[in-house]
Amino acid sequence: MKIKKTTYLSLGSNKGNKLENLQNAIDAIDKKVGSIQKISSIYKTPSWGFAGNDFYNICIEVKTNKTPENLLKILLSIEKELGRKRNHSENYANRLIDIDILLFENQIIISKDLIIPHAKMLDRNFVLVPLAEIAKNVLHPVAKAQIVECRQNCTDTSAISKIKPTL
């Protein structure tokens, strides 16, 4: 039996039926990656880095026996199965689903295809607010601070509001 590791993922959608997109992603992650331990509330945020529809964002905690590299491949395939079409531009765009690996245990990984912890997570309220809800005492391995502290130190002033539906 393989040892299960804890990973935290950020999910977002701003195109189509956003709640359904998030739920479909959760279902696929539970089936293909590992057991979901926690799901944050849903947060509505303006698009970040481009003019587009508002996003619905969540964070989830998952126990998995996948390696970080294999996890990334599976998440990319889930995005594709759910209808995400990646443009290979560096510009942000509307998307049906976006799944990012935020943390994987306390590992620090810097490779051509993967950076863990997520390189921009400390600059984004739409990541830190839902993550702090489910993992406030988890230590960010680079910042050497708990997620709740990282959230307090974030300079992102984008509007963020919790919405009623839950997943």
Q: Is 84 a residue of the active site?
A: yes
Catalytic residue chosen out of the listed positions 27, 54, 86, 100: 100
DSSP letter (8 states) at residue 123: G
Longest Cα pair distance anywhere in the chain, in angstroms? 47
pLDDT value at position 84? Answer: 76
Distance CA 46, CA 51 (A): 9
Q: What is the pLDDT of residues 99-118, one digit of tens each?
A: 999 999 999 999 999 999 99
pLDDT value at position 23? Answer: 97
Q: Is 98 a residue of the active site?
A: yes
Q: Is 95 a residue of the active site?
A: yes
Which residues partner with 58 through β-bridges? 11
Q: What is the pLDDT of residues 47-74, one digit of tens each?
A: 877 778 999 999 999 999 999 999 999 9
Alpha helices, H only, the chain: 18-32, 68-81, 125-135, 147-153
pLDDT value at position 15? Answer: 92
pTM of structure: 0.94
Q: Is 54 a residue of the active site?
A: no
Give φ, ψ of 9 to 5 degrees.
Answer: -120, 150
The identity of residue 162, as a single letter, is K
Distance CA 145, CA 94 (A): 32
DSSP letter (8 states) at residue 43: E
Distance CA 91, CA 163 (A): 28
The dihedral built from the CA positions of residue 63, 55, 117 and 74, taken in this order, carries a sign that is positive
Mean pLDDT of 15-42: 97
Catalytic residue chosen out of the listed positions 27, 54, 98, 156: 98
